[in-house]
Amino acid sequence: MPKTLTRLAVTGALIAGALATAAGPAAAARPWVLMGYYDTYADCSRDGSAAVRGPVYSEYSCYLVRLNGYELWLR
């Protein structure tokens, strides 16, 4: 019985790895798009989070720009 469980666990891990590898390059190939400038991180994060909930973008990032504010980048 333990050998069967071990084989099942190894097979599951291999399948999960194969699926992650297949999906990885497609997501990484999509370019980042600059969507705007914000005075505070909270504003940038709020709009980035709202954009990710839609169907077009899957991730966002807010970058500090010379202490003047933040840039919102979406992918």
- Of 73 and 30, the structure prediction assigns the larger pLDDT to 73
Residue 35 confidence (pLDDT): 96
Could you tell me if 54 and 74 are in contact, meaning their C-beta atoms sit under 8 angstroms apart? Answer: no
Rounded Cα–Cα distance for residues 12 and 28 (Å): 24
19 confidence band (pLDDT: 50, 70, 90): very low
Residue-range domain boundaries for the chain? 1-30, 31-75
SS3 56: coil
Q: What pLDDT digit, counting tens, does each position of 22-61 carry?
A: 445 555 678 999 999 999 999 999 999 999 999 999 999 9
